[in-house]
Structure 1
Amino acid sequence: MVTTLEMLAATVPNSANLSKNPPSPSSKSTTSTTGTIDDDNESSSQHIFTVAARSLKDCADLLLSIKDAVAAEKEAEQDEGKHSDVNSKKESSIKAITPCKRSEIYTKPSALACQGTIGKHVRHLHDHYRILLTSYPPCMGSDKHEWSVDYDHRSREIPMETDIDVAISELQKLQHALERCRSHPQEASSLKMTTDLSSPVKLQATIDPSHAPVTFETTFGRELWFCSLHAVHHFAMIKVICSEFGITSTEGFGVAPSTLKNRMKA
């Protein structure tokens, strides 16, 4: 069964053609697989679609770089006279705190980040975007009932936690869906999506484990912003894990937009 996210992404070029060099946070325009979106021509609120898509692309690009490191490790192991010591690999410019084979990095628990794994962080941040987008009423088979979101209904122990290829594919589906919403808004309605950031949303949230969930009145735009900022928090944790295992990431990865803006002023 084809999902809404897959339908939205259907007209986007194959993920193999994606650039591995995402634009810097200070860039004036965002180049996506659907073309170039001029930030200056976007309304201030609609720009959240571009920001969300860009953050997902940054995460997918990092996972692609890990795949490249795995491939380099395998090649080195096959060459006579070379060893699999991850600290000696030329693709890493930092020394690993915790020695780890490249092939294990995605699923190896971190000694520095509460035994978390890159895979679990990726699955978690992806889940928030997925829950928000797929809980839109038409996606649920109704145009009438209210838009209700509950981020606590997440998926756990699914393939993307342990399979980096699945994770990259799922991240790119979300990225492409958001890009289509921004660059081709006329298609969103027919594909059971919305670009109306003011659409009302009822958020169910567990704020205390000893009490019943509470309800908040919010909007699609506010929740899309939340998902994007929430992702940055997990990117920061992923960055720590990557550093622990000797994998580099881009300077702005895992840094809040407000922090990047402040750095630009310095």
Structure 2
Amino acid sequence: MTSCHSRPSPDTARLVEENLLTLAQLRRMVAALAPERYRQAFGEHGRHTLGKHVRHIIDHYDALLDGLERGEEVIDYEQRRRDEALEQWPQQAASHLAGIQSRLSALDGEPWSAALTLAYPLDDEALSLASSLARELAFLTSHSIHHMAIIALLAEQSGIHLPESFGVHPSTLRHWQRAPEEPAPPSRRSA
């Protein structure tokens, strides 16, 4: 996209920052994993792995950023790459996440309020929904955090310890920082 519109406002630039922080947290976790842990199957049918959730997050960022780089005004998250190597090899995924962070950082001069259209599949047709870069960045933060919360649950089952803040939305982290500490519950005593 060309940067013929005004530069981003401080509020919308914060959306890029939230995405960068979210991806940095995910990248640190992925980079520290052995491939066996990254590919470990969970669930009755073995469909869930840490890697599949990471790849899914990557796919969404790529769909948006690829579309922007091609100058497209329609964003279609259904047309994802689904690169299986990114769900098999944590170092490759970590490297790809670093690339996404660089691409997001380069959005500094993009037209934040320029009209985008989101293609949303519904049965055999796609709805065309009005959107903007700022709206899609807000979506990507929430979408990533949602999958990171699932990743945290799977990691816990595998004995992987993650920070308490992993998979917690930035708005919740801000709430935790503002909230006064609650008193500890009284200890139970046996009668």
In the alignment, which residue of structure 1 is the partner of 2:155? 242
**Could you say if the C-alpha distance between residues 181 and 214 of structure 1 is closer, same or farther in structure 2, counting changes exceeding 3 Å?**
closer
In the alignment, which residue of structure 2 is the partner of 1:121? 53
* Equivalent in 49, 52, 56 of residue 16 of structure 2: 49
Contact 1:113 1:241 in 2 (8 A): no
Cα shift at 1:106: 0.4
Contact 1:113 1:240 in 2 (8 A): no
Contact 1:112 1:244 in 2 (8 A): no
In the alignment, which residue of structure 2 is the partner of 1:16? none
In the alignment, which residue of structure 1 is the partner of 2:66? 134
Cα shift at 1:199: 1.6
In the alignment, which residue of structure 2 is the partner of 1:147? 73
**Could you say if the C-alpha distance between residues 50 and 105 of structure 1 is closer, same or farther in structure 2, counting changes exceeding 3 Å?**
same
**Could you say if the C-alpha distance between residues 232 and 113 of structure 1 is closer, same or farther in structure 2, counting changes exceeding 3 Å?**
farther
Q: When the two structures are superposed, what TM-score results if normalisation uses the length of structure 2?
A: 0.82
Paired with 2:20 and 2:45, the residues of 1 have a C-alpha distance of: 26
In the alignment, which residue of structure 2 is the partner of 1:253? 166
Paired with 2:48 and 2:27, the residues of 1 have a C-alpha distance of: 18
In the alignment, which residue of structure 1 is the partner of 2:107? 181
In the alignment, which residue of structure 1 is the partner of 2:115? 200
Paired with 2:14 and 2:150, the residues of 1 have a C-alpha distance of: 25
Residue 231 (str. 1) matches residue 144 (str. 2): yes
Paired with 2:113 and 2:172, the residues of 1 have a C-alpha distance of: 26
% same residue:
28
Paired with 2:176 and 2:46, the residues of 1 have a C-alpha distance of: 29
The residue type equivalent to 1:104 in the other structure is E
Paired with 2:107 and 2:175, the residues of 1 have a C-alpha distance of: 30
Corresponding pairs, count: 171
The residue type equivalent to 2:80 in the other structure is R
Q: When the two structures are superposed, what TM-score results if normalisation uses the length of structure 1?
A: 0.60
User: Which structure has more helix as a fraction of its residues?
Assistant: 2
Paired with 1:181 and 1:156, the residues of 2 have a C-alpha distance of: 24
Contact 1:112 1:241 in 2 (8 A): no
Q: CA RMSD in A?
A: 2.0
Aligned-partner SS, 1:176? helix
* Equivalent in 135, 141, 147 of residue 222 of structure 1: 135
